[in-house]
Amino acid sequence: MKWHPRGYGGERRSADEVKRDGWREMGVLAISAADPRLSWPERELVRQLGEKLYGPSPAAGRVNHGARS
């Protein structure tokens, strides 16, 4: 019988499992502003909250919000 400390060996949890557990256990929410499961107003709210709390995202300059060149 092999015994491994938690986090070593066995199967890794998916990123979504880690995010879900973080929310359920600690009330921490990790959301991508580009998550396709969110509607446009929800993604915009996430973006605005991120900018308010942490400043502009480096990716913000690369995102094309429907502007024409």
Residue 69: pLDDT over 50: no
Taking alpha carbons only, the member of 22, 3, 4, 25 closest to residue 13 is 22
Q: What are the structural domain ranges in the chain?
A: 15-58
pTM for this entry: 0.65
pLDDT in tens, 15-64: 999 999 999 999 999 999 999 999 999 999 999 999 999 999 887 666 55
Which residue did the predictor score with more confidence, 67 or 26? 26
Tokens standing for residue 38: 């969110």
Q: Cα 16 to the chain's mean position, in Å?
A: 9
Distances from the Cα of 46 to the Cα of 31, 39, 43, 55, 67, angstroms: 7, 11, 5, 12, 20
Q: Given this model, what pLDDT does residue 66 score?
A: 54
Which residue did the predictor score with more confidence, 62 or 8? 8
User: Residue 44 gets which letter from DSSP?
Assistant: H
